[in-house]
Structure 1
């Protein structure tokens, strides 16, 4: 059975868990979210997207 989840949703849950667990304070978390938001509008976005997609595909091909 394959489980498909959006990377944005997964990272959002991770940020909430880190904030609630006091590992990351809300201020730095907001800065990181804003950095990602603005990074998405740069010329590096397609390269980052291809890299993340290839890593996700590689993980998806692992058979246990």
Structure 2
């Protein structure tokens, strides 16, 4: 499945705007899920996965 970068950028900006105005309801959650699905189909998916794995490793290594 080929997804254009413009679609991912547009949905990302829409999610950012909704979070900025503190208005995130059920339709917005569906938009966020669609964004995640489309992002996973792009070439950015390995970079995002690597960043999340690094973040989880960092947070898992913290001792309180």
TM range, normalised to the smaller chain?
0.5 to 0.7
Structure 2: segments with no counterpart, 5+ residues: 1-22
Give the root-mean-square deviation of aligned CA atoms.
Answer: 1.1
State the SS of the aligned residue for 1:63: coil
After TM superposition, the runs of 4+ consecutive aligned structure 1 residues lying more than 3 A away are: none
> When the two structures are aligned, how many residues end up with a matched partner?
42
Gaps (5+ residues) in structure 1?
A: 1-22
Q: Which has the higher contact order (CA 8 A, sep 6+)?
A: 2
TM-score, scaled relative to structure 1: 0.61
Structure-to-structure mapping, 1:10-49, within 5 angstroms: 24-49=24-49
TM-score normalised by L of structure 2: 0.61
